[in-house]
Amino acid sequence: MPRPDDPAAYLPAVRRRQTAEISARSLTQQHMASLHEFLRRRIDHLLTAHPVGSEEYRAAQALHLAVEWTWEELQDCVSFLDADREDKDALLGLGDCWSNLRGLTLPWTDAPDYDDTLWPPVKFEHLRFVPVQGSEAAPPHNDTPR
């Protein structure tokens, strides 16, 4: 049973189920904004629940900074994508930033308003290291079957 001062106590329960991963190119502003808002509600609650200068307040401030810096980086990644969303470096960066922001929600996955269908993990895109043509250097990782 949530405490009366818990922000989740006043939110509708979200039906949760395990979802498949999505590609970074499938992420939308709805995914991102709703996840950011989910975190902001919790942080705002923590900042108002503890006296300024207390250790709890400082920890909430640190979480606030981590969320906001990650959010800004996520928005930068979105702005670098081409309209066709095919820039591989930008897509990898977007997936990384999404995973970082999503990772900050892990302590709340059992919250009634946590929505893992709206905030799915991004598929990991495997990178293969290949030597530059004419280079004698070996790739850092060889995944060729033996």
pLDDT digits (tens, 9 = 90+) for 20-46: 688 888 889 999 999 999 999 999 999
**Cα-based torsion angle of the residue sequence 145, 22, 74, 103 in order, rounded to the nearest 10 degrees:** -80
Model pTM above 0.85:
no
Q: What percent of the chain has pLDDT over 90?
A: 49
pLDDT over threshold 90, residue 53? yes
Would you call 82 exposed, middle or buried from its count of C-beta atoms within 10 A (0-12, 13-18, 19+)? exposed
Per-residue model confidence (pLDDT) at position 15: 44
- The rounded mean pLDDT for the chain is 80
How high is the pLDDT of residue 90? 82
* Residue partners of 92: CB distance under 8 A and separation at least 6: 24, 125, 127
Q: Which residue has the higher pLDDT, 110 or 140?
A: 110
